[in-house]
C-alpha cells in the first residue's frame, strides 16, 4: 500500500510484499524501481490474445518482476512463471462459542410441534378405532387362550405398529 505523500515527497510503498522485495534485493544484490501498471489492473486476457495489467507488463517485457496480491490461475500460468505462494489470506468469521446446555426434549427436535400433535392424534384415533372394532366383533379364540383387548393395549398396539417396535 502507498503511505501518505507529505509535502511533495515521492510515494513510498509499504507492506509485506515490499518487505519481501527488499529482503530479496539485499540477499541477491539488485536494485529496483517500483511502478504501478498503467491501467491499474492485475491482468486478464484480451480478445486479441494480449494481456493487460501487471501480467501484460511482464509479457511485453516492460517489467522484470511483479509483486502483488495476485491470484494464480491456469491462464496466467501459461504466460508467466509464478513463485510458490508465500502468503495465504482467507476470510474467516468468528462466532462466540455456544454454551453447552442439556435439553431433555432434544429427541423431539427433528419434527415440528404440529407434526408431533398429528402423530399423537393419529395414535389416539386409530387406537380407539381398533378398540371399538375388537369390542364390536371380538376375535374367535381357542379354549384356554387369553388376550386383553383393552383401550390401553389397543393404543400400545397402534403406537408399536407406527414406530415399528414390539
Residue 127: what are its φ and ψ, rounded to 5°? -60, -40
Q: Would residue 89 count as lying in a domain?
A: no
Instruction: Over range 10-39, report the average pLDDT.
Output: 88
Q: CATH no. for residue 34?
A: 3.40.190.10
Provide the domain count of the chain: 2
Q: Would residue 149 count as lying in a domain?
A: yes
Q: Are the C-beta atoms of residues 138 and 115 closer than 8 Å to each other?
A: no
Q: Are the C-beta atoms of residues 76 and 55 closer than 8 Å to each other?
A: yes
Which of the four pLDDT bands, split at 50, 70 and 90, describes residue 59? Answer: very high
Q: Would residue 99 count as lying in a domain?
A: no
In angstroms, the CA 10 to CA 39 distance is 20
In this structure, what C-alpha cell is assigned to residue 138?
A: 371380538
Question: Is the pLDDT reported for residue 161 higher than 90?
Answer: no
In angstroms, the CA 81 to CA 43 distance is 14
Q: Would residue 95 count as lying in a domain?
A: no
Q: Are the C-beta atoms of residues 66 and 36 closer than 8 Å to each other?
A: no
Question: Is the pLDDT reported for residue 125 higher than 90?
Answer: yes
Question: Is the pLDDT reported for residue 145 higher than 70?
Answer: no
Q: Would residue 5 count as lying in a domain?
A: no
pLDDT tens digit sequence for 76-110: 999 999 888 877 767 777 777 777 777 787 777 78
More confident residue, 163 or 133: 133
In angstroms, the CA 70 to CA 47 distance is 21
Instruction: Over range 58-65, report the average pLDDT.
Output: 91
Q: What is the 3-state secondary structure (H, E, C) of the chain?
A: CECCCCCCCCCCECCHHHHHHHHHHHHHCCCCCCCCCCCCCCCCECCCCCECHHHHHHHCCCCCCCCCCCCCCHHHHHHCCCCCCCCCCCCCCCCCCCCCCCCCCHHHCCCCHHHHHHHHHHHHHHHHHHHHHHHHCCCCCCCCCCCCCCHHHHHHHHHHHHCCCC
Do 21 and 73 have their domain in common?
yes
Q: Would residue 28 count as lying in a domain?
A: yes
Q: Would residue 50 count as lying in a domain?
A: yes
Domain enclosing residue 148, as ranges: 113-163
Amino acid at each position: 500500500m502507498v503511505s501518505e505523500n507529505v509535502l511533495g515527497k515521492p510515494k513510498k510503498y509499504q507492506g509485506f510484499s515490499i518487505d519481501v522485495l527488499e529482503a530479496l534485493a539485499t540477499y541477491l544484490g539488485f536494485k529496483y524501481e517500483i511502478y504501478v501498471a498503467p491501467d491499474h489492473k492485475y491482468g486478464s486476457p484480451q480478445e486479441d490474445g494480449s494481456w493487460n495489467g501487471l501480467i501484460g507488463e511482464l509479457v511485453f517485457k516492460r517489467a522484470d518482476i511483479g509483486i502483488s496480491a495476485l491470484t494464480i490461475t491456469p491462464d496466467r500460468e501459461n504466460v508467466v512463471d509464478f513463485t510458490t505462494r508465500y502468503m495465504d489470506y482467507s476470510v474467516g468469521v468468528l462466532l462466540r462459542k455456544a454454551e453447552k446446555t442439556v435439553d431433555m426434549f432434544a429427541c423431539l427436535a427433528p419434527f415440528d410441534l404440529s407434526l408431533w400433535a398429528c402423530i399423537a392424534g393419529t395414535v389416539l384415533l386409530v387406537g380407539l378405532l381398533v378398540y371399538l372394532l375388537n369390542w364390536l366383533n371380538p376375535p374367535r379364540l381357542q379354549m384356554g387362550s387369553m388376550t386383553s383387548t383393552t383401550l390401553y393395549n389397543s393404543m400400545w398396539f397402534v403406537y408399536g405398529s407406527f414406530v415399528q417396535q414390539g
